[in-house]
Structure 1
């Protein structure tokens, strides 16, 4: 999440009253998290230099980076909780009377605290047991790494309780305790019956408890965690301790090391103005033709996404630079929002997409293959959106707008060239196998900072500190979702639900195409409700094995999943991304509601084409 994303976080996280605590205890934690992020970048860059410049790989660097990464994830999750940057839904809460809204806010906080307190003993036990496992290179107990989990749980517990006591009345807290305690007591009494039900009891927790928590305003990561924890406590004989191993696995994958670096890269893009330089160049090149500014908007999103890897960063970079000129030329604000939102959805498969990196980690799919395929898929969707924009501008009068002088185009190209190099550097390096996504992310962020400071105005110390904090918070929020969602996915698999669903889907008519249509519907809906990462992490372990059994290529299936999810994210009235675009473009959602649907349908048409023609996704691998 970038600096601008912090302004839009309330749209995602609360759209109303938030959890923000502003605890003074967090200042030292913020400093440590920022230093950990700097250390992580330094370690990864040192590994790249030692491997490629001196042909001498330093083995202990990966272990040190893994330790820093998990601590960054847990401290960042606490910072995200304090700054209200954990994703949650409050569509239902907004419709309640203020009195009841406060009560359910308190209940949500009590539920979060109950989850953290219930897991804390197991987290401590897990850290102590890891003392007997010694790292291969550093020769230190693994406890030094995994102790970040109980420390993070304890810190988040203190934050939640402090905020709850400071901002809510005792009557509201009592209501929250009654709701959470009453549920726990009821499940405890029903434990024999739930265990006798076997795996069927899992449906009670996943289809009842998780949605209720989600609608009640509990952050999504904790919704997944509460559903998994409740099943382990009341519906099975499996000890809660195993949940720690699954969460550790979900938050510690080496592939995910590139996530905070690419998030930081998005911050650098915003802070230095590199994105604006690209927008200005494209505007001078094609802004004078019919639908030219629409082309510039879509083209900018396509290119800028290859630098930032973040939809919100893309929209926040492009909209302020283009919207004033588009309004001056007579473009209607609702149409501009429609292009902005659907263009961001289109561009989310352009490398370095954080969603693709996470999906590759969870589903075991080649990141290089996903990057190559994502570029082609995004190009197909870009062509479809451009075609629709051109048709809608068929009556546009462009005579008053002249082509920019070649001298101006050349000057803007010189200014934008260092920024334009970056996305092609990222894509080509990963796709050709020259470097991993983690290595490329480190090189890219240092390149962007150096070029940005020399050519684009630099970054102040205050801005740099804010960027580090934003990166730590978003990294923590993402990885907490990954940890709890992977634990839930493990429970689903162990309970045999995955096998049952696989058999049911394999027996449905339509073969692999029928399964593709089911996938599209599922992820369109989940994209609306859960946002991208939670939907992917929760469903990928379930859906990908089924796709493989039907002979569907992993990368082809991944492209369908990601595109469907992104379309759902931007589809009103539920899709959160649509409201983000409206907020960034300062257009009321009611005005943009009707304008976006032709573009949504165009993207769905492109999605069906991608699903039906595997060559689009895998033809260039």
Structure 2
């Protein structure tokens, strides 16, 4: 996955030292144990949350402890999932430049990538233990147990990641590669440490050194994205501030513990379940019968499908995880390039950021006082504008697609395929209805989808392979751990930027920009594209919303209009490589190398920018329906 899988030259190096075979045995034993625990945690989350929904809605007897238990299990799932991902080499990496090197140099950089990950984990291990000890004094309100039961997941997960990373080095690298990688990484860390007294007086220049320089060098060298963010943040805080590293662990915990993120593993598992039960095939056959004979038809289906399901889970990654397994296999059969598919998927993530019930819209309403109902109303049409811009690119790229072998279905055939696919097609509507009617929260609703899909597979499609359930659970844990660990590291990085005073300085600078409302909108677009690439949507809104929305109002920009512009700008930054975390999430969900997507994403990003300019220039798209 994600090109974090090893190059053949690296794998062939494994037998070159005697510890390799021992490391292989130890790795298999440890891997089996951790994978089994992670799979059980995914299953436990499904049971706990569905039990909470059933007790509250069917029996009117809420389980007051269900969310708390789910939160405790979720942190353990995230950390153990990150361990599984590191063992498998499935943490997201950027290998576009690494792949251009010779096999020997690629192997060396792979060793350095693992060593850099070990360096961060070793540096943060003691603060993580200290953090778990401090949390022991907090008692949870519902279960009335020590919060150390939850917080202990962080140091234990870090310790396990150190072990699996070192075993990985022993398994796949030669003795020389291990020595050079570990000693070289230690030397770089030591040089930064010695340079600490010189860095501290540089002030905000350190933001450039660490959050641009260190991140860029590590990312393009093939270090996993999460560890690149974490190394930069740790270095900035440790060498240029007096912040205890205990605080960084707390921010990492905060980023990984948002209960809404629990939708990510559950929707990932739902996507796998849809494929396994035959629901995906039924939906694809029906959709292909409608648009399969149109050039680029399934790409249009992808854009429309993301519009329909967006916002259901509260997590854009979870939305993509529900769509990609359904559409991608058939699109690949039709000749679509994997890089083009992941590029379109990522950009539809940005396009649909304003579709209610969007967690970003809810966050804006909560921190700025804007009517959430107005934001929900204003978000529908702007997403259509950006979707149409993406459709133009799809039309251009697929205008020469060969459709000679594609069957044109009759109305009778379409009707028959629709009847077969109806139980599967109803799934998004069942999920959305459960949220709208208050049956389940955005976090819980995925469990309804899982139970619904399992019943449909067992009773209607008669397709349910029990032997695939455990591998699906393990894959869900690994992918979730890789994604959520990135979110945690990005949250810690966002906090570091805030403490530097960067956010206040940015607000003052933007307020001084000439050009009235359009000048302010133009600079806001640029600023939030950059912010979205490093802060993600919710942290950026929490940090900058209270500062900038009053300035926008004073400049004559309607608050709902400004919200749409800001959200789309952040979405473009979030899903645009090389820094956008959302792009790597799309690659992880799609199991496509990020380097492949970069070849195709440029055209889609330009389309989004054109759509954003249209939305910014024509306020009616955002506020036209508010007046009726």
TM score, norm. by length of structure 2: 0.80
CA contact (8 A) 2:2 2:92 kept: no
Counterpart for residue 230 of structure 1: 235
Taking the aligned partners of 2:229 and 2:381, their CA distance within structure 1 comes to 34
Deviates more, 1:392-401 or 1:87-96: 392-401
Verify the 8 A CA contact 1:298 1:339 in the aligned structure 2: no
Q: Distance in 2 between matches of 1:424 and 1:43?
A: 23
Say whether the 8 Å CA contact 2:381–2:622 is kept in structure 1.
yes
Partner residue in 2 for 1:159? 164
Residues 18 and 537 of structure 1: CA distance in aligned 2, closer, same or farther (over 3 Å): farther
1:556 to 560, 564, 567: 564
1:447 aligns with 452
Partner of 1:318 in structure 2? 327
SS at match of 2:97: helix
Q: Which moved more, 1:269-278 or 1:246-255?
A: 269-278
Q: Is the 8 A contact 2:78 2:256 kept in 1?
A: yes
Report if the CA contact (8 A) 1:103-1:172 is conserved. yes
Q: How many Å apart are 1:564 and its aligned residue?
A: 2.0
Question: Alpha carbons of 1:394 and 1:248: their partners in 2 closer, same or farther (altered >3 Å)?
Answer: closer
User: Following superposition of structure 1 onto structure 2, how do residues 190-589 of structure 1 map, counting pairs within 5 Å?
Assistant: 190-287=195-292, 292-303=294-305, 306=308, 309-311=318-320, 314-321=323-330, 341-342=343-344, 345-346=347-348, 350=352, 376-386=381-391, 404-430=409-435, 435-511=440-516, 513-514=518-519, 516-518=521-523, 520=525, 536=537, 544-545=545-546, 547-551=548-552, 552-553=559-560, 555-557=563-565, 559-561=567-569, 563-565=571-573, 568=576
Map of 1:3 onto structure 2: none
Q: Distance in 2 between matches of 1:258 and 1:367?
A: 22
Deviation at 1:165, TM superposition (A): 2.5
Q: What's the CA shift for 1:439?
A: 2.2
Q: Work out which of the residue numbers 26, 34, 52 in structure 1 matches 2:31.
A: 26
Give the whole-Å Cα distance in 2 for the aligned partners of 1:95 and 1:399: 36
Shift of 1:93: 2.1
Alignment of 1:114-129 (within 5 A): 114-129=119-134
Q: Distance in 2 between matches of 1:94 and 1:37?
A: 34
Segments of 5+ residues of structure 2 without an aligned counterpart are 15-22, 310-316, 553-558
Distance change >3 Å, CA 391–CA 49, structure 1 → 2? same
Q: C-alpha displacement at 1:144, in angstroms?
A: 0.6
Question: Does the residue aligned with 1:121 lie in a helix, a strand or coil?
Answer: helix
Q: CA deviation at 1:367?
A: 9.8
Give the Cα separation in 1 of the matches to 2:372 and 2:277: 28
1:330 equivalent in structure 2: none
CA shift in 2, pair 1:241/1:576, >3 Å: closer
Distance apart, 1:241 and its partner CA: 1.1
Instruction: Tell me the matched-pair count.
Output: 592
Cα distance in 2, alignment partners of residues 170 and 354 from structure 1: 54
Counterpart secondary structure, 2:443 = helix
The residue that corresponds to 2:89 in the other structure is 84
Note if contact 1:43-1:65 (Cα within 8 Å) is conserved in structure 2.
Answer: yes
Question: Aligned-pair distance for 1:466?
Answer: 1.8
User: What SS does the aligned partner of 2:140 have?
Assistant: coil
Q: CA deviation at 1:16?
A: 8.2
What are the Cα deviations for residues 281-308 of structure 1, in whole angstroms up to 9, with x where unaligned? 23334555xxx35345412552277569
Q: Distance in 2 between matches of 1:357 and 1:257?
A: 14
Q: Is the 8 A contact 2:365 2:372 kept in 1?
A: no
Measured at CA, do residues 233 and 442 of structure 1 come closer, stay the same or move farther in structure 2, by a change above 3 Å?
same
Q: Who is 1:10 aligned against?
A: 2
Report the CA distance shift for 1:583/1:52 in structure 2 as closer, same or farther (over 3 A): closer
Q: Judge conservation of contact 2:267–2:321 (CA < 8 Å) in 1.
A: no
**Distance between the aligned counterparts of 1:367 and 1:495, measured in 2?**
31
Q: Does structure 2 retain, via aligned residues, the 8 Å contact 1:67–1:145?
A: yes
Aligned-partner Cα distance in 2 for 1:58–1:64 = 10
441 and 305 in structure 1: CA distance in 2 versus 1, 3 angstrom threshold: farther
2:481 & 2:364 partners in 1: Cα distance? 17
Report the alpha carbon displacement of residue 457 of structure 1 after superposing the two structures with TM.
Answer: 4.1
Q: Give the conservation status (yes or no) of the 8 Å contact 1:359–1:536.
A: no
Query: Displacement, 1:46?
Result: 1.1
Determine if contact 2:76/2:150 at 8 Å carries over to the other structure.
Answer: yes
Distance across 2 between alignment mates of 1:344 and 1:190? 39
Instruction: Tell me, yes or no, if structure 1 residue 59 matches structure 2 residue 64.
Output: yes
Distance in 1 between the 2:522 and 2:536 partners?
Answer: 17
Paired with 2:94 and 2:578, the residues of 1 have a C-alpha distance of 15
The separation in 2 between residues aligned to 1:465 and 1:355, in whole angstroms, is 32
CA distance in 2, matches of 1:363, 1:229: 32
Residues 1:279 and 1:526: Cα distance change in structure 2 (over 3 Å): farther
- Distance (whole Å) between structure 1 residues aligned to residue 142 and residue 321 of structure 2: 39
Q: CA deviation at 1:427?
A: 3.3
- 1:70-120 CA-partner distances (Å, limit 9, x unpaired): 100100010111122211112232233333333332222222111111111
Measured after TM superposition, the shift of residue 426 of structure 1 is 3.0
Q: Is the 8 A contact 2:81 2:481 kept in 1?
A: yes
1:156-192 C-alpha deviation (Å, 9 max, x unpaired): 0001111113322333233223432223322332323
Query: For residues 250 and 127 of structure 1, what CA distance do their matches in structure 2 show?
Result: 16
> Matched residue of 1:138: which SS?
coil
Unaligned runs of 5+ in 1: 1-8, 328-332
Superposed displacement of residue 425, structure 1: 3.0
**1:440-473, Cα deviation, whole Å (9 max, x unpaired):** 2221222122213323342312321121111111
Greater Cα offset, 398-407 or 273-282 = 398-407
| CA distance in structure 2 between the partners assigned to 1:78 and 1:370 by the alignment | 39
Shift of 1:280: 2.1
Q: Is the 8 A contact 1:351 1:371 kept in 2?
A: no
Q: Distance in 1 between matches of 2:95 and 2:404?
A: 48
Aligned to 1:186, the other structure's residue is in SS state helix
RMSD after superposition = 4.3
State the SS of the aligned residue for 1:184: helix
Q: CA deviation at 1:244?
A: 1.5
